[in-house]
Amino acid sequence: MPQNLYVISIANIEIMINLFLVLAIVCVLCGVASSILIIMFLSKRGTKINYLLIRIYIYKYINQYRKITIEETGKVGPLFYSFIISFILALIFAIIGILLKITA
């Protein structure tokens, strides 16, 4: 029986690093899609959107989306959670991928 049962090969570590970084990118893309949908939602409700400074104002728009959906339905809209969770997961996956790369 081989003694290196628990040793992960370098190729497997590289695959795991790439997997976590791809997952981080996918989560960021989901977050961007959620933010675009939130902007469209607010635009339909008559909110003025500053497209030039959208990167700066996106958190303001997320908060407005939250307030409007609470007023309309009594609950926070699903795009709010989609936005928040996707960027939290992207951060977690990126940190894991970076830590794996550093320790490999």
- At residue 25's C-alpha, the angle toward residues 21 and 26, to 5°, is 115
Is 4's pLDDT higher than 60? no
> What's the rounded Cα separation, in Å, for the pair 31 and 43?
18
Amino acid letter at 2?
A: P
Quickly state the pLDDT bin for 6 (edges 50, 70, 90): low
How far out from the chain centre does Cα 86 lie? 3
Decide: 42 and 65 in contact? Cβ < 8 Å: yes
Give the single-character DSSP code of 8.
Answer: P
* pLDDT on residue 66: 96
